[in-house]
């Protein structure tokens, strides 16, 4: 194990194709942190674990002025060693029209990361949601070959543009759905336009998506990623079987990501570490890719109760502990900050306060709990990731 044993008691502590490829520059060292900011998540993380955040480049980083950063940019650079484009690499943003790619937001994320000595996680290449209207319209009459051609062009173009710049890619996102009305989980062949067109053999298309991404950037680690995938359950059993099938077929699958979108309305699944361990035993990396913890707020309340604050911290720390306890856990990413920028209130009415920073950018107790766990973690470089 990479960490020293701890309890969860700490939780209560205080365009056409955009012009030319990006020009690589020497990696910058993490910025100096004056004014008492030495004790940050990125500085306390073990050397083989990236602590990251989602960021929306088109909203938060375009026009980044290194001399006059916003408060959001200062916290992003100070606290995190990895960035995930929250929306900028999704189809609707990066490929809005047939043959047209808009890399404005994605480039902003990669440029910011390079300037601040950060890594980038790519998100995402094959997903049923946030596809542009042209894809939804064309998919109504696609043959499998037509769908494959469109998907291959997209994967090779986007992954190839950032070859050598992105260390992990969420290649296939949410491709298995929980659908209890039909007797259990299944591949999302109805909602995903590409899988629907190739419904006779969707696994072959999934495998080829990984192959195209690997050919476009052989250095990147390629992941399956989903929600409700933290513990051992019917859905992760299906992913485990899918991972075995892909690996047996020689597919360059390198990792499994559990998103980590939790809510205090439900109990925490204590089998998260065991779930990660079984995927690691297949030779895969594992990651927490989109962590946040939703808090139900009573109507008229000013915010969460003290008990909810403590549980919010405990759940973030429990996910981090599961990651720290598995050597092959390569990254832990929170899904943006602060609450004013969170997706949660719009999607889950009545729930809020999901991130680890207040709207004035002061850290919540969840940040303190995570920081304490990272301090206790045994540093070291994973033999599976030499040089990182």
Q: Which residues are catalytic?
A: 174, 290
Tokens 């779930």 map to which residue? 275
Question: Is 245 within 8 Å of 203 (Cβ atoms)?
Answer: yes
CB-side neighbour CA atoms (13 Å) of 79: 25
Which run of H or of E encompasses 151? helix 144-161
Nearest to 61, CA basis, from 53, 72, 75, 51: 72
* CB burial readout 17-32, b (16+ within 10 A) else e: ebeeebeeeeeeeeee
Question: Is 331 within 8 Å of 338 (Cβ atoms)?
Answer: no
Helix axes 104-115, 71-79, angle to 10 degrees: 60
Nearest to 293, CA basis, from 11, 6, 64: 11
Helix axes 272-280, 306-324, angle to 10 degrees: 20
Which run of H or of E encompasses 55? strand 50-55
Question: Is 276 within 8 Å of 323 (Cβ atoms)?
Answer: yes
């Amino acid at each position: 194990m990479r960490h020293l044993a701890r309890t969860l008691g700490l939780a209560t502590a205080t365009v056409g194709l955009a012009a030319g490829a990006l020009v690589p520059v020497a990696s910058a060292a993490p910025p100096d942190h004056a004014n008492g900011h030495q004790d940050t998540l990125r500085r306390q993380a073990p050397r083989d674990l990236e602590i990251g955040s989602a960021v929306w480049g088109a909203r938060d980083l375009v026009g980044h002025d290194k001399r006059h950063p916003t408060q959001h940019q200062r916290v992003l650079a100070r606290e995190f060693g990895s960035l995930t484009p929250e929306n900028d690499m999704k189809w609707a943003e990066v490929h809005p029209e047939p043959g047209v790619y808009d890399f404005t937001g994605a480039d902003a994320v990669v440029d910011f990361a390079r300037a601040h000595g950060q890594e980038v996680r790519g998100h995402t290449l094959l997903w049923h949601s946030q596809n542009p209207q042209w894809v939804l319209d064309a998919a109504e009459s696609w043959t499998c070959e037509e769908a494959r051609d469109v998907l291959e062009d997209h994967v090779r173009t986007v992954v190839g543009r950032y070859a050598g710049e992105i260390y992990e890619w969420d290649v296939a996102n949410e491709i298995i759905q929980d659908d209890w009305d039909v007797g259990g989980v299944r591949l999302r062949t109805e909602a995903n336009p590409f899988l629907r067109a190739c419904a006779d053999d969707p696994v072959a298309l999934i495998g080829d998506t990984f192959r195209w991404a690997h050919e476009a950037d052989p250095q990147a680690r390629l992941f399956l990623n989903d929600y409700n995938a933290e513990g051992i359950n019917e859905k992760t059993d299906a992913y485990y079987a899918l991972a075995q099938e892909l690996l047996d077929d020689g597919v360059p699958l390198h990792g499994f990501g559990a998103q980590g979108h939790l809510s205090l309305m439900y109990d925490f699944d204590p089998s998260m570490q065991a779930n990660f361990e079984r995927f690691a035993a297949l030779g895969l990396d594992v990651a927490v890719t989109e962590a946040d913890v939703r808090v139900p707020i009573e109507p008229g309340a000013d915010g969460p109760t003290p008990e909810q604050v403590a549980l919010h911290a405990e759940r973030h720390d429990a996910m981090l502990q599961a990651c720290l306890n598995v050597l092959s856990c390569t990254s832990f990413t929170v899904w943006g900050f602060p609450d004013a920028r969170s997706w949660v209130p719009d999607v889950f009415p009545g729930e809020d306060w999901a991130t680890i920073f207040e709207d004035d950018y002061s850290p919540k107790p969840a940040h303190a709990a995570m920081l304490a766990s990272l301090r206790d973690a045994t540093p070291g470089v994973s033999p599976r990731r030499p040089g990182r």
